[in-house]
Amino acid sequence: MTEKLAIVSELPDGFYDFEINKILEYFPTTTLIELEGNRSPPLFVSILLHGNEYSGLKSVQALLRKYQEGLPRTLYLLVGNVNAAAQRKRVLPGQVDYNRCWPGTEMDANEETSLTQAIVDRVTRAPLFAAIDVHNTSGVNPHYAGLTRVTQENQHLAAMFNHICQVFTRPKGVMTMAFNDTCPAAILECGRPGDTAGIHHATELLDALLHMDHFPQRPVPAHDLQMVRTVATLNIPEHVSLDFNLNSQTDLRFDQNFDSMNFTEIKPQDIFAYSRVENPLIVTDQLGEDITEQIIRVESGKVYLNRTFMPAMITLDESIIRQDCLCHLLVDYESGTCD
């Protein structure tokens, strides 16, 4: 979003079939596409806020190919970090994270925060039906929805996507937080980029939202949605080296299949990692407070969690770990435990 935002009212020629590496030929800058449909209020969808997460593009290509003769509902489509997308990068050096700069962010005001505010102001001039942000995970994860506020309508959104839902209030500045007071809003985590099942799930949900008159006026049955909430985020200090090879000589070492632990229980007696330094991790809570000593311990070079947690969004990509985090730790939304 370091360049002027483009606002258009039709899709570019060739939209339905182009590949992500060609995106700058179709969208030279961040673009808001306003497509008129047969019903209101509109649906707002953002894709490519992280440039390497291109399942959202594939999903809206499939969706809009189906409705070339007319949309069932007006659609606002935001195509985000096109420059990073062209290079298959989450974010380019010198850029801010496009999913951390929305209204409510903790970052200082900049060009990107001004543009996201302008986008929100424009698309909320009239009511919205829902706001959906389509993402991928770089590690092995199930498809799941992310909510930044728990409401009955948001729970229905999550359950329409899959039976797992993660609730969080940090990091700040994600797209859905900007719409929490306006309409139902959810993040779709569609597995790894290009995962065909994840693309299909997202397309089905968006298609359903184009046709719905209203959200059900009843609670989501408990068996239809497993809700978990984030209680902690793990970061690795810049001076701590890491590897996903237990035989390496780095400060912090994880198993090569570490991301397979996503959404599985890790108990206090399970070895989480190996370390040759005393303080290999920084753990913060949902208020941003340091809770490292409460959550982890290091004994004889082994790292343990002090209670049972489920990790989510573990990635083996060091660049993403340094830009964002190693993972989040989750507990059951209601009970606060994983036991």
Residues 68, 27: Cα–Cα separation, whole Å: 19
HEC profile of 288-309: CCECHHHHEEEECCEEEECCCE
Tens digit of each residue's pLDDT (9 = 90 or more) over 168-209 = 999 999 999 999 999 999 999 999 999 999 999 999 999 999
Position 338 confidence tier, pLDDT thresholds 50, 70, 90: low
Residues 205, 131: Cα–Cα separation, whole Å: 12
Q: Which long-range contacts (CB under 8 A, 24 or more apart) does 318-322 make?
A: 318/242, 319/90, 320/90, 320/138, 321/236, 321/242, 322/236, 322/238
| Start-to-end Cα distance in the chain | 44
Q: What average pLDDT is seen over the chain?
A: 95
- Is residue 336 scored above 50 in pLDDT? yes
User: Residue 1: its pLDDT value, please?
Assistant: 44
- Is residue 339 scored above 60 in pLDDT? no
- Is residue 47 scored above 90 in pLDDT? yes
User: Residue 28: its pLDDT value, please?
Assistant: 97
Q: How many helices, marked H, and strands, marked E, lie in the chain?
A: 9, 17
Q: Is the previous residue joined to 171 through a cis bond, with omega within 30 degrees of 0?
A: yes
Tokens at 253, concatenated: 């070492």
User: Residue 335: its pLDDT value, please?
Assistant: 72
User: Residue 165: its pLDDT value, please?
Assistant: 95
* Closest CA relative to residue 81, chosen from 90, 68, 69, 94: 90
Which domains are delineated in the chain?
6-224 (3.40.630.10), 228-332 (no CATH)
Within 10 A of 321 (CB to CB), how many other CB atoms are there? Answer: 18
Residue with tokens 């299949």: 257
- Is residue 48 scored above 80 in pLDDT? yes
Tens digit of each residue's pLDDT (9 = 90 or more) over 65-79 = 999 999 999 999 999
HEC profile of 131-176: EEEEECCCCCCCCEEEECCCCHHHHHHHHHHCCEEEECCCCCCCHH
Determine the average pLDDT of the residues in 229-245.
Answer: 96
- Is residue 90 scored above 90 in pLDDT? yes
Entry pTM: 0.91
